[in-house]
Every structure is written in C-alpha cells, then in structure tokens.
C-alpha cells in the first residue's frame, strides 16, 4: 500500500508526519510506502493534516480539516495523538 500524509510546512506537522512514517515502518516495513506531501500553500489556519491510504481504492483515514468544517459527517478527532496513531496503524 501507499500511505500519504499531507500537511503544511509547519515544524509540528512535519514532526508528526515523521512519527507516523516511523510507526508504519515499524509495523509494516516495506509493505507500506509512506509519502509526506508538504503543501506549501497551506496555512496553519487552513487546518490541513490528512492521512489516506492508496491501494485499489483511496481511503481517507484522518482529516483535521474535515473535523473542523464537516464535523456532522466526519466523526474522527482533529489531532493525531498516540491513540489515533494506533487507530491508523490498525486500519
């Protein structure tokens, strides 16, 4: 599979993307390729931090933006803490 982490060029977001990459590497090795897409045009107030898995289909696993603008439909948390990270790995 191909896991994509999309985030703005902010230090905290990049550190979190690195943490996700390392955790997926521990769990899946080379079976899952993790790519961080730095969205240079995104600003912190845009609340962009998304994680999706590309395989036969594209599955949105985490969306900070959806948690803020579409909370009636999107039921996940806005932040990736340790519990959410393990949820991503389990998915």
Q: Where are the alpha helices (DSSP H) in the chain?
A: 11-28, 64-69, 82-90
Q: Cα dihedral sign for 79, 68, 8, 34?
A: positive
Give residue 25's pLDDT: 95
Average pLDDT, the chain: 91
35 versus 73: which is more confidently predicted? 35
Residue 60 near residue 50, CB atoms below 8 Å: yes
Report whether pLDDT(55) > 90: no
Query: Span 59-77, mean pLDDT?
Result: 86
Residue 27 near residue 58, CB atoms below 8 Å: no
Mapped onto helix, strand or coil, the DSSP state of residue 7 is strand
């Amino acid at each position: 599979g191909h896991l994509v982490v999309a985030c703005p060029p902010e230090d905290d977001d990049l550190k979190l993307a690195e943490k996700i990459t390392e955790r997926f590497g521990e769990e899946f090795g080379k079976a899952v390729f993790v790519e961080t897409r730095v969205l240079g045009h995104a600003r912190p107030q845009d609340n962009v931090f998304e994680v999706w898995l590309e395989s036969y289909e594209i599955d949105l696993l985490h969306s900070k933006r959806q948690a803020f603008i579409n909370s009636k439909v999107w039921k996940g948390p806005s932040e990736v803490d340790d519990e959410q990270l393990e949820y991503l790995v389990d998915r």
